[in-house]
């Protein structure tokens, strides 16, 4: 049965893309000096194993540690790795957008620097795209048994409240909008990322809000995921900002901001 599944995947891929696919993997990073080397080792080893034509774009968000220098060292040894640097600390949303706008792959994917979802889970998202989805998002809650390390209860509590507000304010009915593993076809990425306006943690719902408005097909895919205690999200202060960003998304929509001509990252408000 597993062999048959692989054959179906290969046949579907050949029908949609007669030439070998190219992939762009974007990794936002802020003060990730302790983890980024191990992450790049895992990602590049995976790409070599899969035989993919790919680029790995690390976006440094004004780190105050050695993150950028570590990535430069890796890039000197491996030409698939590229470093982009933000003009100061602008936020995860800004970083992901920066990387996606510079990416050139036919399939674009972003993942957290700590690889809370292992990089091999990308195969599930890519398979969903090959089955016809425009966007595939990893989910911790479609199948909670796949979580290798649960979040503390207080983080789960704030996350559930956030997920209860999303349908009310933005009309989003997904079990998990915040998992840091998402994949896009190139046309979907080109349609969405130039329009984004949220620079920090609340950018994930903005992506999905714009995709739903554009009638794109979104697949929510259960993935393996493990909490890292070194997470930089503060569930209280960042949770409050994410709530206000949710309201800003609704405001931007009502005032027609998403219909305006996209502006450059450096001057976006």
DSSP for 143-196, written as a single string:
TGGGEEEPPPHHHHHHHHHHHHHHHHHH----S-S--SEEEEEHHHHHHHGGG-
- pLDDT score recorded for residue 198: 95
pLDDT-derived band at 16, boundaries 50, 70, 90: very low
Distance separating alpha carbons of residues 45 and 156, to the nearest angstrom: 33
147 forms bridges with which residues in the sheet? 225
Q: Nearest-CA neighbor of 81 among 20, 40, 32, 21? A: 40
Mean pLDDT of the chain: 86
Distance separating alpha carbons of residues 130 and 250, to the nearest angstrom: 31
Identify whether the C-beta of residue 129 lies closer than 8 Å to the C-beta of residue 209: no
Q: Cα 107–109–114 angle (5° rounding)?
A: 155
Name the residue with tokens 């891929």.
Answer: 13
- pLDDT score recorded for residue 142: 66
Q: Is 94 exposed, middle or buried (0-12, 13-18, 19+ CB in 10 A)?
A: buried
Q: Is 173 exposed, middle or buried (0-12, 13-18, 19+ CB in 10 A)?
A: exposed
- pLDDT score recorded for residue 242: 83
- pLDDT score recorded for residue 230: 59
Distance separating alpha carbons of residues 195 and 261, to the nearest angstrom: 8
According to CATH, the superfamily of the domain at 16-267 is Spore Coat Polysaccharide Biosynthesis Protein SpsA; Chain A (3.90.550.10)
Tell me the pLDDT tens digit for each residue of 80-130: 999 999 999 999 999 999 999 999 999 999 999 999 999 999 999 999 999
Q: Cα 178–179–180 angle (5° rounding)?
A: 105
User: Residue 230, Cβ neighbours under 10 Å: how many?
Assistant: 9
- pLDDT score recorded for residue 157: 59
Tell me the pLDDT tens digit for each residue of 134-181: 999 999 876 666 665 655 555 665 667 788 889 999 999 999 998 999
The pTM of the full predicted model, rounded to 2 decimals, is 0.84
Tell me the pLDDT tens digit for each residue of 199-239: 998 999 999 999 999 999 999 999 997 756 556 666 667 67
Alpha-carbon separation of residue 30 from 61, 68, 177, 241 (angstroms) = 5, 9, 21, 18
Distance separating alpha carbons of residues 185 and 201, to the nearest angstrom: 22
- pLDDT score recorded for residue 156: 65
The encoded tokens of residue 27 equal: 């990794």
Torsion sign over Cα 206, 210, 213, 218: negative
């Amino acid at each position: 049965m597993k062999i048959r599944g692989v054959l179906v995947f290969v046949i579907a891929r050949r029908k949609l893309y007669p030439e070998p696919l190219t992939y762009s993997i974007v990794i936002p990073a802020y003060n990730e000096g302790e983890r980024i080397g191990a992450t790049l080792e895992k990602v590049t080893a995976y790409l070599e194993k899969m035989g993919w034509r790919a680029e790995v774009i690390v976006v440094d968000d004004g780190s105050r540690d050695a993150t950028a220098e570590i990535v430069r060292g890796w890039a000197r040894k491996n030409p698939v790795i590229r470093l982009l640097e933000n003009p100061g600390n602008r936020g995860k949303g800004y970083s992901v957008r920066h990387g996606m706008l510079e990416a050139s792959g036919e399939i674009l994917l972003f993942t957290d620097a700590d690889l809370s979802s292992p990089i091999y889970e990308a195969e599930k998202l890519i398979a969903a795209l090959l089955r016809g989805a425009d966007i595939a998002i990893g989910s911790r809650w479609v199948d909670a048994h796949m979580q290798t390390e649960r979040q503390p209860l207080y983080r789960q509590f704030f996350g559930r409240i956030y997920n209860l507000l999303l349908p009310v304010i933005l009309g989003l009915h997904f079990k998990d909008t915040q998992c840091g593993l998402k994949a896009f076809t190139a046309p979907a990425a080109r349609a969405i990322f130039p329009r984004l306006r949220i620079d920090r943690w609340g950018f994930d719902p903005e992506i999905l809000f714009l995709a739903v408005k554009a009638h794109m097909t979104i697949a929510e895919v259960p993935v393996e995921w493990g909490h890292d205690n070194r997470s930089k999200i503060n569930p209280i202060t960042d949770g409050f900002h994410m709530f206000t960003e949710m309201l800003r998304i609704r405001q931007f929509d009502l005032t027609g901001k998403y219909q305006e001509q996209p502006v450059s990252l450096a001057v976006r408000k």
